[in-house]
Amino acid sequence: MLRLSVPRRTVPHRALGRMGKKALPLFGGFLAVAVLTAGCTMRKSELTGDAVDGVVVDATTQQPIPGAMVLLKWRGVLPTVHSNSVPCYHAELATTDAQGRFHTNAWRVETKDHVDWLGYVTPREPPEPIAYKPGYAMPRRYQDDPRRVLMEPFQGTTLQRLGYLAGAFYPPCDADAKTLIPVYRALYEEGLTMARSPQELKTVDTLLVQLESAQFGNSEALKRAGQREGERFQRSLPPN
């Protein structure tokens, strides 16, 4: 684990705290602190992951589920000022075949080509699997074995289904956001087919913001969401 090492006589503890709050940038919702501290662990030049072969099955019948999208999220420990974060630092997306099987290739990334904090992550194995198919859900949000992923038919109301879709792949993988675009698009398209009430349509807009954040970045996605909200407000006004 990376440790902060600050001589007491050189930088008082209070001064370090004030400096950290002002000087350290935010990356994906957590602070990348290690790059500014002396005596820290060497930055990793690359991160790697093994190939994964798995299967998605019905939790009750144990039958394979074809056509499911499977996201594998590699997560690691990142020391910050007050605690440790566990961000996603790499993602791979696959689709199951007729026998419910999927495969992701081994991968390697050079940390200098990505977000600044990536080189200071301590990898945590194995990757976290998340699966999606219209009409299905994962019985347990977090599953430990990426080689055997369980799903079951979703039971609930339209609003409950939309809520499930909105949270199914949260938190996002900030270091590899564009990998999630196909699955975010699928979530949004499923939501569009079922939403009717104002509350349901509002949840669908959340799915659209999620998709556009991966496509264009958070700022542009929020800008577009604000424009849509303004247009809805204008349409709600009585005619002159």
Q: How far, rounded to the nearest angstrom, does the alpha carbon of residue 201 sit from its chain's CA centroid?
A: 23
The percent of the chain in helix, strand and coil, each rounded to the nearest 5, is 40, 25, 35
At residue 61, φ and ψ (nearest 5 deg) are -90, -15
Instruction: Determine the pLDDT at residue 57.
Output: 96
Q: What is the mean pLDDT of residues 221-230?
A: 94
What's the CA gap between 44 and 94, in Å, rounded? 27
CA quadruple 147, 189, 212, 204: dihedral, nearest 10 = -110
What's the CA gap between 31 and 79, in Å, rounded? 9
Structural domain spans, the chain: 44-155, 157-240
Instruction: Determine the pLDDT at residue 115.
Output: 60
Poorest-confidence range of 78-87, 135-144, 217-226, 229-238? Answer: 78-87
Residue 52 forms beta bridges with which residues? 104
Please tell me which of 5-9, 189-193, 229-233 the model is most confident about, judged by mean pLDDT.
189-193
Q: Write down the architecture of domain 44-155 according to CATH.
A: Sandwich (2.60)
* Tens of pLDDT, residues 107-127: 988 876 666 677 788 888 799
* Tens of pLDDT, residues 73-94: 998 888 777 667 888 888 999 9
Instruction: Determine the pLDDT at residue 98.
Output: 97
* Tens of pLDDT, residues 23-59: 434 444 444 444 443 345 566 778 889 999 999 999 9
Instruction: Determine the pLDDT at residue 175.
Output: 77
The pair of three-digit structure tokens given for residue 91, joined into one six-digit string: 């993602």
What's the CA gap between 6 and 25, in Å, rounded? 20
